[in-house]
Structure 1
Amino acid sequence: MSYQVRIEDTDHAFNVDEGESVIDAALRSGLMLPYSCRNGTCGTCKGELVEGAIAYPDGLPPAIDASEDAAGKALFCQARASSDLVIRVQEVREAGDIIPQRLPARVEQIDDLAPDVRRIFLKLPRDKHLSFLAGQYLDILLRGGQRRSYSLGNAPREDGLLELHVRHLPGGVFSEYAFTTMQPGALLRFEGPLGNFFLREDSDRPMILMGGGTGFSPVKGIVERALQVGTTRPMHIYWGARAEPDLYLNQLPRQWAEQHGAIDYTPVLSEPASDGDWAGATGFVHHQVLADHPDLSGFDVYMSGPPPMIHAARDEFTAAGLPADRLFYDSFEAGGD
């Protein structure tokens, strides 16, 4: 059995199979609705149920509470249709050729960027091609149906290489392998591209791009894309980390700022070494953004990193005047083993 889903105030409609999430059905039909984690924890896919009935397979997801549910809010990455639906979402795009695929890839190169961060370049077979938007992510497919999500750390390149920044989590089902036995030539499988974190090229507003930890990875891809298309929009890049070694590609954004007059770069450390010579900004990275830009009403903001940073910044940036439809984020939800 299938149901029809119509998106209010648009001419878009698609069918969703019984037991299929609304987001998965939209992707299958060539539409991109807002989403990120796909497990109900980040809230990116939150919209409104205008007509119809839905159910959640495992009860109410973490990113929506009972009062929101009662008011007609819904998390469409988890929602299953029980009837035909009319929904309202913040943004909808035709996916074009940006369609998730399951593909093999070979590990082309491994770089140690920090004691706990590795950069891994993946190469597709000669007869395969992946269309993606800089800032999107991949799911590495593992045995037993497990997956681990990693942002693409580059804009599309002529050589087709895909760049991932992997932080070592002791005991992590994928990162442990990546830091111990993985060698160039290893074969992986992935699904992608996924997510709605990418550069909105139709805007002319100045941008703030904020990454926390390896959340710098998709920020890097978005900046590279902006430079590819020759944007003249001002960009202020913020990178939050605990200590200076965690700014594992610090020279790159410094170089961008030196070479492009429209780019500023501010690294922020939350726990700088007491015996070090760090003279830069300290504290929470989103507080530094607000100190520099107390009125965010005229900006587009892109942010990626750990959920506590995302949740705190989302509330405080909105309070500082940032319109909800100009805040784009990717919350790095950890995968449980």
Structure 2
Amino acid sequence: MNTHAIELTTRDGEQLRFECATDQNLLEAAADAHIVLPAQCGQGNCGTCYADVTHGDFTLGKHNPAALPDGAGASGTLLCCTFPKSDLRISLPFDHDRILIGEIKVRNAEITAIDSVGENTLRLELRLASNEDDGSMAEFEPGQFMELEVPGRDIKRAYSLANISNWDGRLEFLIRLQPGGLFSTWLREQAAVGQTLIVHGPKGAFGLYESGLRPRWFVAGGTGLAPMLSMLRRMAEFQEPHPARLYFGANRPEELFCQTELKALQAELPQLQVIFCVWKPDNNWQGFCGTPVDALTQDLADAAVLPDIYLCGPPALINAAEAAARAKGVPDKQVLSERFLPTV
């Protein structure tokens, strides 16, 4: 069987190497070499494993075009459906510390709370069971996600964490219930406090990028708020001085959630501005009328310092925000994103 040499270079300049067969995708080959790269769906649908091939030839297999960012070009690829035709050199858009050498952690967790926070949106809280390796600690980086599995059923879905690492084993998720979704239906009809879920992770490369004291602007649509909450809560915990803005959008005012939590966060992080954006406001709405991208575009026009921009939401929001940032001269390296597509 023919194999090719694969060389990965992370954003912070670290390199990893492994061999990949011509009929094997890069994500699988890396895992065979005990290198667990940030990924989520494994089927070319989410874009989490996006990377740039800087040298060599490859085939990009079946995938969802929306998982690739606009303007990705011929070098842009998804590692989970990339098959080498030659030796490859690949540039990864994340630092080395987001790569796991070894195995993904798998732990049991008990549901401690499950509450409605908005229309078809739940807050799910879990507490990890103690084990010999980790005790009760929940350790992860803000911006990462976990995969949740219902024991005894072939249902596993990925959700971003909304809280920060803690010694109590607490995990918090904001979950949009998808019509007809397998996991969504289970959450809606069967999930209850005291039940056990199996937790895989943490995973993912999305998160805070250390770049001095540049302003940090966060743009979230729907449950894309979860990783932004995690990152802002970390900033508050460490009392980081960066000027910060959060643009949080919904179609209608009643679809906005976590407003109490965001007010509490502003008290802990006084430099944080929160801009609520409503696309289809009613006559009583007093906030910004339009999308988060509209508000972002407006504020970029007057920005004295071009900020680092963090994006999380559906592909249409991500693509529009990236285009707006590019049009205003924000360097691509200062725009970090995680797009998500509904999974049933």
Would you say same fold, with TM above 0.5?
A: yes
Q: Which residue of 2 aligns with 1:76?
A: 79
Taking a change above 3 Å as real, the CA distance of residues 16 and 124 of structure 1, as seen in their structure-2 partners, is: farther
Q: Please give the alpha-carbon distance, in whole angstroms, between the structure 2 residues aligned to 1:204 and 1:160.
A: 31
Q: Which residue of 2 aligns with 1:208?
A: 217
* Cα distance, 1:21 vs structure 2: 3.6
Q: Please give the alpha-carbon distance, in whole angstroms, between the structure 2 residues aligned to 1:145 and 1:78.
A: 22
* Cα distance, 1:55 vs structure 2: 3.2
| Kept in 1: contact 2:51–2:76 (CA 8 A) | yes
Q: Please give the alpha-carbon distance, in whole angstroms, between the structure 1 residues aligned to 2:145 and 2:270.
A: 29
Q: Deviations over 1:262-321 (max 9, x none)?
A: 1111111112234xx211111111111111222666211111112211121111221111
Which amino acid in structure 2 is aligned with residue 237 of structure 1? L
Identity %: 26
| Kept in 1: contact 2:124–2:174 (CA 8 A) | yes
Which amino acid in structure 1 is aligned with residue 247 of structure 2? Y
More displaced 10-residue stretch of structure 1: 126-135 or 146-155: 126-135
Q: Please give the alpha-carbon distance, in whole angstroms, between the structure 2 residues aligned to 1:260 and 1:87.
A: 38
Q: Please give the alpha-carbon distance, in whole angstroms, between the structure 1 residues aligned to 2:91 and 2:14.
A: 12
> What value does the CA root-mean-square deviation take over the aligned residues?
3.1
Q: Which residue of 2 aligns with 1:281?
A: 288
Which amino acid in structure 2 is aligned with residue 75 of structure 1? L
| Kept in 1: contact 2:129–2:169 (CA 8 A) | no
3-state DSSP of counterpart to 2:157: strand
* Cα distance, 1:111 vs structure 2: 2.2
Q: TM-score normalised to the size of structure 2? A: 0.84
Does residue 1:55 correspond to 2:30, yes or no?
no
- Segments of 5+ residues of structure 1 without an aligned counterpart are none
More displaced 10-residue stretch of structure 1: 78-87 or 93-102: 93-102
Taking a change above 3 Å as real, the CA distance of residues 72 and 224 of structure 1, as seen in their structure-2 partners, is: closer
| Kept in 2: contact 1:295–1:320 (CA 8 A) | no
Q: Which residue of 2 aligns with 1:5?
A: 6
More displaced 10-residue stretch of structure 1: 80-89 or 311-320: 80-89
Taking a change above 3 Å as real, the CA distance of residues 32 and 59 of structure 1, as seen in their structure-2 partners, is: closer
- Segments of 5+ residues of structure 2 without an aligned counterpart are none
Q: Please give the alpha-carbon distance, in whole angstroms, between the structure 2 residues aligned to 1:201 and 1:26.
A: 27
Which amino acid in structure 2 is aligned with residue 246 of structure 1? E
The count of residues paired between Structure 1 and Structure 2 equals: 332
Q: Which residue of 2 aligns with 1:134?
A: 142
Q: Deviations over 1:114-159 (max 9, x none)?
A: 2422111112221164531111112223577553221111111221
Q: 1:229 pairs with 226, 230, 238, which one?
A: 238
| Kept in 2: contact 1:134–1:155 (CA 8 A) | yes
Taking a change above 3 Å as real, the CA distance of residues 96 and 228 of structure 1, as seen in their structure-2 partners, is: farther
| Kept in 2: contact 1:37–1:331 (CA 8 A) | no
Q: TM-score normalised to the size of structure 1? A: 0.85
Q: 1:186 pairs with 188, 195, 209, which one?
A: 195
